[in-house]
Amino acid sequence: MHPVCKPRIESKSYTESVELCRMSGSFDVSVSRLSISETIGLTRDNTGRPAVRSIACSSNVGKVRVRFTKRRRWLYNLFCRFLERPIKSALNRQICPKVSSAINGLEENLKKMKISFRVNNFAEVDYSLVNRIKISRRAMDLDFKGEFYRVRNRKEPPFKPPPISLPRHSSRMLYLGISDFLANSAGFVFHEAGALRMKITDRMIPKNSPFRLNTKSFGMIMPQLEKLYPNMNMIINLHSTRPPVLRAANGNITIQAFGALDMLAILPNSSLASLFVLNIHASVSARINIVRMKLTGSVTLNRLKLTPGHSRVGPVPVAGLELLIQIAIKAAVLPKVNEKLARGVPLPKVKNLDFVNPTLMVNRDILVIATDVLYRP
């Protein structure tokens, strides 16, 4: 992050009432050649939040000029030189305390900064600082955690985050790198919680689709299925068998998903009969965007591979079923997944700080957000 600070302090007119010989009036004070030097310390507190403090401050008012503006000003202006020095001293005494107070105000905002948020009843994201803040002559680096956990049951995944490398030549104020470890830790948590499952019914298939989720449609490639269970609707129970794996590389994001499809028939008495199970390995591509300080996304199916599990209705023609399952996934599964991805993951946010014209790049193992920053006191 390139810290850029360009303060501008303008001379302004101040109106004060004075009393000389039981008379009143007003005067203008102009200040020139004003300089302020402030040393700020940044670190990590014991909660994982960034902390800021004022270390040293010095100020100098080069020149103060006082001029009376109303009647009898020719008389009052004779005494101006006696007022300029005490005003100059008063300004020098008050500038640094005001600057330090403003810095302390920022520290109070940092103390309120959220370092975790709950996604739902079983998952939360921790993005506290994990290392001390590094400051060089050109930039300041902050290392945030960025990891999903189970609520009240934190467990580390069986993989480690990759090293993060940000652009060396910077033209923006802030570069935020998000490794694919964030998404993979989410996949691990959701899989462990048993949340990566979905029930697909015929109502979820578009009405204009020639394929229906029933034994008649499947009977075209599995005649024995329609003979055993004639004219019955079906249900597909889809669940993960391994955590999904996301990989970011050179502008592309791919996700490998591993699961199983349990095909069931709905009997006339509304009970379910297990038909067969298929193992599924799917590859999807993802698109990531930034919307209102959140990372949002959508996925499209690249490849689908089915392998037979067990069957209670005889041989399963896997090759023919792949086409039917693809139709069902594209029509019913992906819209539900994209609906959840559209809700987004909030980016780390500090009160009164806004991103200005953020852009997103996909590099190896990392998403990089480049943006300018606007502070609104």
Whether the pLDDT of residue 274 is over 90: the answer is yes
Pick the range with the lowest mean pLDDT from 10-14, 208-212, 246-250, 340-344: 10-14
* DSSP class of 229: S
List, for residues 55-81, the tens digit of each pLDDT value.
888 888 877 776 666 655 555 555 556
pLDDT greater at residue 93 or residue 311: 311
pTM over 0.85: no
Q: What is the pLDDT of residue 29?
A: 72
Whether the pLDDT of residue 8 is over 60: the answer is no
List, for residues 76-105, the tens digit of each pLDDT value.
555 556 566 777 788 878 888 888 888 888
Whether the pLDDT of residue 132 is over 90: the answer is no
* 53 residue type, one letter: R
CA distance 35 to 38: 10
To the nearest whole percent, how much of the chain has pLDDT over 90?
A: 29
Pick the range with the lowest mean pLDDT from 143-147, 222-226, 330-334: 330-334
CA distance 244 to 240: 8
- Torsion angle, CA of 347/350/355/359, rounded to 10 degrees? -30
Do the Cβ atoms of 183 and 145 come closer than 8 Å? no
CA distance 324 to 177: 40
Per DSSP, the three-state class of 12 is coil
Q: Which domains does the chain have, with CATH numbers?
A: 18-111 (3.15.10.10), 116-346 (3.15.20.10)
Whether the pLDDT of residue 254 is over 60: the answer is yes
* DSSP notation for 64-84: EEEEE-STTHHHHGGGHHHHH
